[in-house]
């Protein structure tokens, strides 16, 4: 059996120390979801031109956009359409885009 030097930590402690120093931390806020698929979905039925859909998506604030994606992912598209906060934000964005 090999003897350890008196002043060096055991190999397992060194591996733990190395593992903790190489870990990365998660960003403070999650990255914004991609806007392009949402704009494409808005324009898919032809009722909104692609430029209008892009304008609406660009007019939404990050919190509303994040809410749309979370609701859609966790509860489905119907939940997005039934959410008063999201509906109001999209209506406001559409009004702003129509006025431009």
Residue 67 contacts residue 86 (beta carbons within 8 Å) = yes
How high is the pLDDT of residue 37? 78
Q: Encoding tokens for residue 70? A: 């979370």
State pTM to two decimals: 0.59
Cα(17)–Cα(1) distance, rounded to whole angstroms?
Answer: 24
Note the pLDDT tens digit of each residue in 13-39. 555 555 555 555 555 555 555 667 778
């Amino acid at each position: 059996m090999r003897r350890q030097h008196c002043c060096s930590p055991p190999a397992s402690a060194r591996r733990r120390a190395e593992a903790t120093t190489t870990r990365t931390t998660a960003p403070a806020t999650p990255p914004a979801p991609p806007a392009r698929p949402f704009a494409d979905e808005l324009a898919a039925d032809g009722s909104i031109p692609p430029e209008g859909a892009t304008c609406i998506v660009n007019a939404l604030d990050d919190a509303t956009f994040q809410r749309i994606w979370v609701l859609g992912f966790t509860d489905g598209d119907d939940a997005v359409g039934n959410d008063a906060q999201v509906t109001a934000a999209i209506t406001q964005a559409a009004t702003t885009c129509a006025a431009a």
